[in-house]
Amino acid sequence: MALQSLDIARRSATTTPAPGVRETAKVAKLIDVSTCIGCKACQVACMEWNDLRDEVGSCAGVYDNPVDLTAKSWTVMRYAEVEEKGRLEWLIRKDGCMHCADPGCLKACPAPGAIVQYANGIVDFHQENCIGCGYCVTGCPFNIPRLSKEDSKAYKCSLCSDRVAVGQAPACVKTCPTGAIQFGSKEQMKDVADKRIKDLKERGYAQAGLYDPPGVGGTHVMYVLHHADRPELYQGLPNDPSISPLVSLWKGFAKPLATLALAGVALGSLFHYVTKGPNEVSKELENELEKEDAK
């Protein structure tokens, strides 16, 4: 354990069990959508801290920019203009990794140690181990990870594991001007959420509530929503997210079958991996599958 500053709970594609005697407090980030002004300070702080500079894009006729998550934009604001009972609401949601307690990305990941879950709940990608296959994308119920066109590796929010490891809050949390993003233990964040939900109910949002979806074991990024009964209002936040059936399929009966059926493909892949580097694996396979699909 000497090499890590955060205890590890799980590693992708690794059978060696993680050590488990230490007790580490679970952390969480709470995003109170009802006090978010959509200023994008979190987007900027994220890029600044993580040394990322996305493209200078263009305006697509909306405030959203960049318009979607990318390998260099690990969080984006999503704006929805909704009319509720004749009253206009501008629902602005900070989108990014939810740090699921039961992370679909990690379960789907075939590259040993490319995705880890720390004992505090953070799910982190380690690009040096990433083979660029993109299965984390499939595995994610929130459509978060993005493959980089530059290095064909998957990227997403790390919850600033480097800051958290030294006792600091993530960059987006620290910068948030209105305090709409907060960080602490998961218990603390639930308490904060309770207080906010009570306030929102007093202000007429009868369905205000916490978004901490059980289908993924709960998340270490939670939302306070004014309309918790309809998360889809917030630019398609999934109502009841769960890990893709494909990941369960793999974990269940498919693996032994695959071992036989796809041995050739896998060995081929490995050959490519060794000689040409990791990105070729997925590309070759993807191309093959595209052809199959086209039939």
Q: Could you say which of 63, 148, 233, 242 contacts another protein (CB under 8 A)?
A: 63
280 is a site residue for another protein (CB under 8 A): no
Tokens read off for 222: 């939670």
Q: Contacts with another protein in 15-54 (CB under 8 A)?
A: 15-16, 34-41, 43-45, 47-49, 53-54
59 is a site residue for another protein (CB under 8 A): yes
Window contacting another protein (CB under 8 A); options: 21-29, 210-218, 229-237, 257-265: 257-265
Q: Contacts with another protein in 175-204 (CB under 8 A)?
A: 175-180, 195-196, 199, 202-203
Can you tell me the distance from the alpha carbon of 149 to that of 111, in angstroms, rounded to the nearest whole number? 19
CB of 23 to another protein, least distance (A): 19
Q: Contacts with another protein in 77-96 (CB under 8 A)?
A: 81, 83, 88-90, 92
Q: Could you say which of 148, 254, 280, 283 contacts another protein (CB under 8 A)?
A: 254
Q: Contacts with another protein in 97-156 (CB under 8 A)?
A: 108-114, 116, 124, 126, 128-129, 131, 133, 135, 138
Do 33 and 91 form a contact (C-beta atoms < 8 A)? yes
Q: Is 157 exposed, middle or buried (0-12, 13-18, 19+ CB in 10 A)?
A: buried
Pick between residue 25 and residue 261 the one whose CB is nearest to another protein. 261
Do 124 and 116 form a contact (C-beta atoms < 8 A)? yes
If we measure between CA atoms, which residue out of 147, 140, 156, 160 comes closest to residue 213? 140
What x-and-dash track marks residues 204-243 binding another protein by CB under 8 A? Answer: ----------------------------------------
Q: Could you say which of 165, 190, 217, 230 contacts another protein (CB under 8 A)?
A: 165
13: left (phi over 0), alpha (psi -120 to 50) or beta: left
Do 126 and 116 form a contact (C-beta atoms < 8 A)? yes
292 is a site residue for another protein (CB under 8 A): yes
Do 154 and 134 form a contact (C-beta atoms < 8 A)? yes
End-to-end CA distance of the chain: 50
Do 25 and 134 form a contact (C-beta atoms < 8 A)? no
